[in-house]
Copies of this chain bind each other. A is one copy, B any other.
Amino acid sequence: MNRKATALDVAKRAGVSRSAVSLVLNGRGDGNVAKESQERIRLAAQELNYSPNAIALSLRNQRSRVIGILSDEVVVSPFDGNIIGGADDVARSRGFVTVVMDTERDTARDAGAIETLLDRQVDGLMYVTVGLKPLEVPPGMERVPSVLANCYDAHPRPRLHHVIPDEVTGGREATEHLIQFGHRDIAFLAGSEDSPASPLRIEGYREAFASTQLPVTEARIAHAGWDIDDGYKGAMRLLDGVVPAERPTAIMCANDRLAVGVVLAAARLGLSIPGDLSVMGYDDEHRIANTMVPALTTMALPLREIGREAMTRLLDAIEDGKTTTAEPTVETMVPCRLVLRESTGPEPR
């Protein structure tokens, strides 16, 4: 645990002053420091394995090249953290590092976490959530450039830019895919009512029907929840003991877990997929959608893209020196992506 070399150590070894070391190592040596000295300095730095102390730098420069990411529960929850992955990708490529803090959905911890991050001189803040949701923006976020990923300012006059998936289009395109396969009676197992994603996806579902001049049967839309057993129960309600002519020929699910439940129910009932019934997921959850039997056709959430886009926005704001606050555009929508696999097919007729 021997202490790290400091600029002074390097200076001594090279027989110059600290200032010279600083200049040279920051690329402003030419025209200020003799070529000769430059060489010696670089060598000494090498030998001592010198790298500047980030803390001292932050104190001096009042900025740290660190971006704080606050997560509601993406670290701890069993959902993938690709938003964070994408955000980190672009941060690193632009010379920033990210540190994340997870509040485990305890919003009371938000302010404290932000305070901590701010105290450590983060240059910007990103709030990221597992599911699309309105956010009570915690105090403190307005003090540095900030951005919202997968959530949006619940305030009537939003102050922070947010990046979210285009759920309406996602819902529409998923439905269109099924309609193109000839399905007309398509049930929609939506998530729970309290999620803002549900109504948006339903809206897309309606749009798809409307643009094809097809009527929507309200009874086919049901709020089911988000889990496997919810999907199972929903499917049983739709299929069990119902004569084939009155069964929907396709079931759209608001996420892949629901779809797993539907497939399970179909298996119990002896229905083949997609022969007797098409099943469509949503999210493209890694290691669920792609490994199900049959593999799930699904609407992929562009998580990685959301993270990349949000971080790009944020860094642009930071490097322009202006806050994202009061920017002209407050919302970026990222399109979802249809992933064709094996659980959907032509309607049986």
- Residues of A whose CB lies within 8 Å of any CB of B are 1, 51, 53-56, 58-59, 64, 66, 74-82, 84-85, 88, 97-102, 104, 113, 115-116, 119-121, 142-144, 227-230, 232, 257, 260-261, 263-265, 267-268, 270, 285-288, 291-293, 295, 323
Contacts and interface: CB of A to CB of B under 8 A. Distances in A.
A323 B295 CA distance: 49
Contacts of A55: 55, 58-59, 64, 119-121
Nearest to A74: B75
Main secondary structure of the interface of A (DSSP, over half): mixed
Q: How many copies does the complex hold?
A: 2
A54 to B, nearest CB: 4
Contact of A227 (B79, B82, B291): B291
B78 A287 contact: yes
Contact of A97 (B116, B227, B261, B295): B116
Contacts of A323: 1
Contacts of A268: 267
A235 B260 CA distance: 17
B101 A98 contact: yes
Nearest to A289: B228
List the 10 closest pairs (A to B, CB-CB), nearest first. Answer: A267-B267, A54-B119, A99-B99, A227-B291, A78-B80, A75-B81, A76-B85, A228-B291, A76-B81, A232-B293
